């Protein structure tokens, strides 16, 4: 299963994602330069975290106009697998591949810490290696990670089961105290209507090896490969 990691000016988690795919997951991976519009035949695109274009104007709002993003949007609309992490999630909402928006944390703080997440569904290409209701720990690192959407959109994504991860406490309870950034409904990650595009604020690539203090993130990458090898790729 061939992965592509998009690189914008200001991306800073691109090499971490590449490393996990290459050395831990042991799958083929290539970088996709923002200025090119060639997806190199990849099966899954990762839009990594960082500060694309310095977060000017609004996070993700400039990156969304990069030549590569035209192809990423086409790919997603045709059912291609896309994973947007942190700034990647922000870019995917700006590009219209995911509903809602990420705004500045109400605390006005850049939050860099471990967060507990509850896995809401285990029947998707991104979460089949987890169990439903599983509590996992994944680091967050962002200043603009507060998920918002209008009431109608929020109801639609909840009714459709598009929320895959919610911030919770160590016991898996969804509480305001466990919410690091004021996201509506404690939302940490959502998929699109069709289920092939995931955006999440926490960083699975930062907890995919024991030496980094945890491997919960690796299950997400493994889910993609399992789903692909299980028939989706043929
Ligand atoms: N780690 C990241 O991707 C940072 C995300 C974004 N630039 C923010 O601060 O909100």
Ligand 1 mutation pick, 12, 92, 141, 182, max ligand atoms within 8 A of CB: 141
87 lines ligand 1 (CB under 6 A): yes
Residue 159 has pLDDT above 60, yes or no: yes
Among 51, 57, 62, the mutation site with the greatest number of ligand 1 atoms within 8 A of its Cβ is: 51
pLDDT at 94: 98
pLDDT at position 98, please?
98
pTM of the model: 0.97
CA of 54 to the centre of ligand 1 (A): 10
Task: List the CATH number of the domain containing 89.
Answer: 3.40.50.880
Give ∠ CA 172-163-30 in degrees, rounded to 5.
105
CB 76 within 8 A of CB 197: yes
pLDDT category at 64 given cuts 50, 70, 90 is very high
Q: What ipTM did this prediction achieve?
A: 0.95
The Å distance, Cα 66 to ligand 1 centre, comes to 18
234 pLDDT more than 60: no
Does any ligand 1 atom lie closer than 6 A to the CB of residue 101?
no
**Mutation to probe ligand 1, out of 11, 15, 83, 87 (largest number of atoms < 8 A from CB):** 87
Assess whether the C-beta atom of 51 lies below 6 angstroms from ligand 1.
Answer: yes
Q: How confident is the model at residue 231 (pLDDT cuts 50, 70, 90)?
A: confident
Task: Return the pLDDT at 155.
Answer: 98
Rounded (10°) CA dihedral 102, 103, 109, 111: 0
Provide the pLDDT for residue 233.
Answer: 61
The catalytic residues are 86, 203, 205
124's tokens: 């998707």
Q: What is the pLDDT of residues 180-215, one digit of tens each?
A: 999 999 999 999 999 999 999 999 999 999 999 999
Indicate the average pLDDT of the chain: 97
- What range defines the domain where residue 70 resides? 3-230
Tens digit of each residue's pLDDT (9 = 90 or more) over 76-92? 999 999 999 999 999 99
pLDDT at 158 over 90: yes
DSSP letter string over the chain? --EEEEE-TTB-SHHHHHHIIIIIS---EEEEETT----TT-SEEEE--B-GGGG-SSTTTTGGGSHHHHHHHHHHHTT-EEEEETHHHHHHHHTTSSSSEEE--TT---EEEEEEEEE--SSSTTTTTS-TT-EEEEEEEESS-EEE--HHHHHHHHHTT-EEEEEE-TTS---STT-SS--GGGEEEEE-TTS-EEEESS-GGGGSBGGGTB-TTHHHHHHHHHHIIIIIT-
* Ligand 1 atom closest to Cα of residue 141: 1
8 lines ligand 1 (CB under 6 A): no
- How many folded domains does the chain comprise? 1
- Our answer on whether the CB atom of 62 is closer than 6 Å to any ligand 1 atom is no
User: Which single residue is written with the structure tokens 């944390």?
Assistant: 105
Q: Which two tokens stand for residue 161?
A: 């089961």
């Amino acid at each position: 299963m061939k992965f592509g990691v998009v690189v914008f000016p200001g991306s800073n988690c691109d090499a971490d994602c590449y490393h996990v795919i290459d050395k831990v997951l042991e799958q083929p991976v290539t970088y996709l330069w923002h200025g090119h519009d060639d997806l190199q035949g990849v099966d899954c695109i990762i839009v990594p975290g960082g500060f694309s274009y310095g977060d000017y104007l609004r996070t993700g709002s400039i990156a969304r106009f990069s030549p590569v993003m035209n192809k990423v949007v086409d790919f997603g609309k045709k059912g291609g697998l896309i994973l947007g992490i942190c700034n990647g999630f922000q870019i995917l909402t700006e590009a219209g591949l995911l509903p809602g928006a990420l705004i500045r944390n109400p605390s006005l703080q850049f939050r860099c810490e471990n967060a507990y997440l509850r896995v809401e569904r285990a029947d998707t290409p991104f979460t089949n290696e987890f169990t439903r209701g599983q509590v996992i720990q994944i680091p967050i690192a962002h200043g603009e990670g507060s998920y918002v959407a209008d009431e109608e959109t929020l109801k639609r994504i909840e009714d459709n089961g598009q929320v895959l991860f919610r911030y919770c406490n160590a016991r898996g309870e969804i509480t305001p105290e466990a919410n690091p950034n004021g996201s509506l409904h404690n939302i940490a990650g959502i998929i699109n209507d069709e289920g092939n595009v995931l955006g999440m604020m926490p960083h699975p690539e930062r907890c995919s090896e024991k030496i980094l203090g945890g491997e919960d993130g690796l299950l997400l990458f493994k889910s993609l490969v399992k789903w692909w090898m299980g028939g989706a790729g043929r």
